[in-house]
Amino acid sequence: MLSDFHVHTRFSGDSEADPEAILDHAVSMGMRHICFTDHHDFDYQYETDFNLPAEAYWSYMPELRDRRAGQIAVSIGVETGLEVPMGSRLHTFVAEHPYDFVIGSCHLLNGIDPYYPDFWQDKTDREALELYFSIIRATLDTCRDFDVYGHLDYIIRYSPNGIQNYNPSDYLEQAEDILKTLIAEGKGIELNTGGMYKGSVFPNPHPLFLKRYRELGGEIITVGADAHKPDLVGYGFQQAAEYLKEAGFRYYCIFKERKPIFLPL
């Protein structure tokens, strides 16, 4: 696993990581490709500013990419928050700059971030997860300007009960609807190891969903650590490769100019 395609830097509101330090660490690991995917969430109402400073980002990143080209191939991407009303705004935002890669993720459920405990106070885990999957499905009817869906089922990381009540098969029907829609639209998913360095025993999505995606004909899959600091780049990638192989994959993808490139595991 030589490519990390989900990395955050100081251009994201929740990271202070220096992009140069990120690249130094990736090079020291022998990585060949990396993609910066800093956050952009429309109308985020909490204290963190998740509006990407796109002009500053695009002033800095191409120069960095070109300067480090002899060491590592750098792609310039973005992780966008998907919400049902955001389709046209997302289209305009993505079209303003030549991104190599766009991750679409659901960070807000009816305007509420499940990272915070108040989201869980009036719901069982089952109710929260069913709401999450239903909102994801609804966003896919309006938001189409992304390449892969990010960290499917990640909100279980934030349940006050941990994963003890999580049985992914309870949500398989909803997940299959989402996966079939993504496949029909020519979009992929990612295997995200971000929860694993926070103590999770599985990546997102759960291996059950990885396997079902492949069984349904899904081919486009990227791998990202969701790193917000340099030493987490590439975290858990050896295990990620095993999860992919167990799900039936013999390759993973990187992106350049919004097109997937398939690499062998």
Tally of domains within the chain: 1
Instruction: Give the CATH number for residue 21.
Output: 3.20.20.140
| Helix, strand, coil distribution of the chain in percent, nearest 5 | 40, 20, 40
Residue 82 pLDDT class (50, 70, 90 cuts): very high
Question: Is residue 64 classed exposed, middle or buried when 0-12, 13-18 and 19+ CB atoms within 10 A define those classes?
Answer: middle
212 pLDDT higher than 80: yes
Tokens of residue 231, six digits: 């030493």
pLDDT value for 123: 93
As a whole number of angstroms, the distance between CA 63 and CA 83 comes to: 32
Domain that residue 233 falls in: 3-264
Residue 199: what pLDDT?
A: 85
Long-range CB pairs of 117-123 (<8 Å, 24+ gap) are 117/160, 119/158, 120/158, 120/159, 120/160
For residues 44 and 136, what is the distance between their CA atoms, to the nearest angstrom?
17
SS3 category, 9: coil
Q: Count the residues in the chain.
A: 265
Q: Which helix or strand (DSSP H or E) is residue 256 part of? A: strand 251-256
CA-based torsion, 60, 65, 71, 74: positive or negative? positive
Q: What is the pLDDT of residues 7-30, one digit of tens each?
A: 999 999 999 999 999 999 999 999
**pLDDT tens across 116-171, in order?**
999 999 999 999 999 999 999 999 999 999 999 999 999 999 999 988 889 999 99
Residue with tokens 């759960």: 206
C-alpha–C-alpha distance, residues 53 and 50, integer Å: 9
Over residues 179-187, the mean pLDDT reads: 98
- Quote the pLDDT of residue 43: 86
pLDDT of residue 45: 87
Mean predicted lDDT score pLDDT of the chain: 96
pLDDT for 156 = 95
Terminal C-alpha separation, the chain: 7
The pLDDT value recorded for residue 47 is: 85
Burial of 16 by CB count in 10 Å (0-12 exposed, 13-18 middle, 19+ buried)? exposed
103/84 Cα distance (integer angstroms):
16
pLDDT level of residue 1 (50, 70, 90 thresholds):
confident
